[in-house]
């Protein structure tokens, strides 16, 4: 059981098309704020772990050093930047946990950020293809949406057309996102709009429609993670009861692209470490970069057998009032998906739920949360099981 470290503070910027010029400015919104939220001072921080995908979004790189530009007291604190595609935020969290649990320090700052909206749409699509296997997948029409369009096509060919269920997932997440003050798109579109092809909801990469795709976003989120002994002395503590990271082979041609085998293994590993089952979870924040991803993730986490994720949707299991609420925050679909910030954001929002501080997003009586964040087309797969310990 990984109970050696806990989340003790956090900060979260709005997600969307922001005026902040770059990731330096975005990190400046959250780095100091997270430390203050934890009831600590910058001098208490032993290490900094930054998650930024970049891959061409801006010329400036070497971004581990950025948090100190807004919090000068961090100037001489060791800092590292990690990247693992869309799971970059969770990779930064794991870097911090490894640092603390190996005994190298007691308090770590994690900052995830991305500035995406300064680039033209076509260029954004090409940059995101850096999270795929370019030797085989660079020419897929529609960029990364095209990658998941192919995944959806393969799924429909094997199991039947599930466009209606994808629309219901989109409608659920947009409805939930209305309650999220950080969300990029706080509008309840309803099922009919999401399920109907129109000028405002065209095909982006068939069979995926605009409402099936997450948003291009700017944003940042930060966490302070502390060792168990430090966490006991602070006002908040949400522990990692378990965590798992499982990879899969990158090229889709060398695996079953709709099995999400790495995701399945990560969930099994994390739940076994935690000594829990899905029935013990109060909520899940999962990586809905596209609605078909959320559908397949229901199967990967064990809510349904392969090809039967549609039953989870039809039965309302993952609605906010369902048996296992999924993406009460609105998910990436409504909240937005600034790549490096996403995994950190998912942990912030889950910690807020467990501390009873989620406002209108709150799931009553939330005790244990699951978080699934993935990089690429289910290549880097991270699962966290979080519980409040103070």
Distances in Å between the Cα of 347 and the Cα atoms of 4, 29, 157, 363 are 17, 18, 35, 15
Which residue among 12, 49, 86, 213 is the active-site one? 86
**Structure token digits, residue 312:** 């989870």
Distances in Å between the Cα of 262 and the Cα atoms of 23, 53, 241, 249, 301 are 30, 21, 20, 9, 11
SS3 state of residue 172: helix
| Pairing relationship of beta strands 380-388 and 238-247 according to DSSP bridges | antiparallel
Looking at residue 216, the DSSP 8-state letter turns out to be: P
Distance CA 156, CA 28 (A): 44
- When computed from its CA atoms, the radius of gyration of the chain, rounded to whole angstroms, is 19
Q: How many CA atoms lie within 13 A of 289 on its CB side?
A: 25
289 catalytic? Reply is no
Distance CA 322, CA 338 (A): 28
86 catalytic? Reply is yes
SS3 state of residue 314: helix
Under 8 Å between Cβ of 273 and 239: no
| DSSP helix, strand, coil percent of the chain (3-state; round to 5) | 40, 20, 40
Under 8 Å between Cβ of 101 and 5: yes
Which residue among 49, 287, 337, 347 is the active-site one? 337
**Structure token digits, residue 16:** 């969307």
Residue of 328, 256, 335 whose CA lies nearest to 296: 256
325 φ, ψ to 5°?
Answer: -60, 130
Just list the catalytic residues.
86, 337
């Amino acid at each position: 059981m990984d109970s050696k470290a806990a989340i003790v503070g956090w900060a979260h910027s709005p997600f969307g098309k922001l005026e902040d010029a770059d990731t330096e400015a975005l990190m400046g919104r959250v780095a100091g704020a997270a430390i203050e939220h934890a009831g600590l001072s910058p001098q208490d921080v032993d290490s900094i772990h930054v998650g930024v995908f970049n891959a061409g979004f801006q010329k400036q790189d070497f971004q581990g050093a950025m948090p100190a530009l807004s919090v000068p007291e961090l100037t001489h604190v060791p800092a590292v930047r990690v990247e693992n595609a869309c799971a970059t935020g969770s990779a930064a969290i794991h870097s911090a946990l490894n640092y603390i649990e190996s005994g190298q320090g007691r308090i770590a700052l994690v900052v995830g950020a991305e500035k995406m909206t300064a680039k033209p749409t076509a260029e954004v699509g090409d940059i995101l293809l850096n999270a795929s296997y370019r030797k085989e997948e660079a020419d897929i029409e529609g960029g990364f949406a095209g990658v998941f369009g192919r995944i959806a096509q393969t799924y429909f060919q094997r199991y039947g057309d599930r466009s209606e269920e994808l629309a219901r997932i989109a409608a659920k997440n947009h409805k939930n996102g209305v309650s999220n003050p950080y969300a990029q798109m706080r509008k309840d579109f309803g099922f009919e709009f999401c399920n109907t092809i129109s000028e405002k909801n065209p095909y982006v990469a068939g069979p995926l429609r605009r409402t099936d795709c997450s948003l291009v976003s700017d944003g940042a989120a930060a966490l302070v993670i502390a060792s168990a002994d430090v966490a006991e002395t602070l006002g908040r503590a949400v522990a990692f009861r378990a965590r798992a990271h499982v990879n899969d082979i990158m090229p889709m041609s060398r695996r079953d692209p709709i099995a999400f085998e790495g995701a399945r293994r990560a969930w099994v590993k994390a739940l076994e470490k935690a000594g829990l089952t899905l029935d013990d979870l109060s909520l899940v924040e999962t990586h809905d970069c596209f609605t078909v991803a959320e559908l397949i993730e229901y199967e990967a986490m064990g809510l349904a057998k392969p090809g039967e994720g549609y039953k989870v949707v039809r039965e309302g299991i993952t609605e906010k009032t369902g048996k296992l609420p999924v993406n009460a925050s609105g998910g990436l679909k409504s909240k937005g998906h600034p790549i490096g910030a996403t995994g950190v954001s998912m942990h912030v929002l889950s910690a807020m739920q467990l501390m009873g501080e989620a406002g209108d997003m709150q799931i009553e009586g939330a005790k244990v949360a699951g978080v699934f964040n993935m990089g690429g087309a289910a290549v880097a797969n991270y699962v966290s099981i979080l519980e409040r310990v103070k």
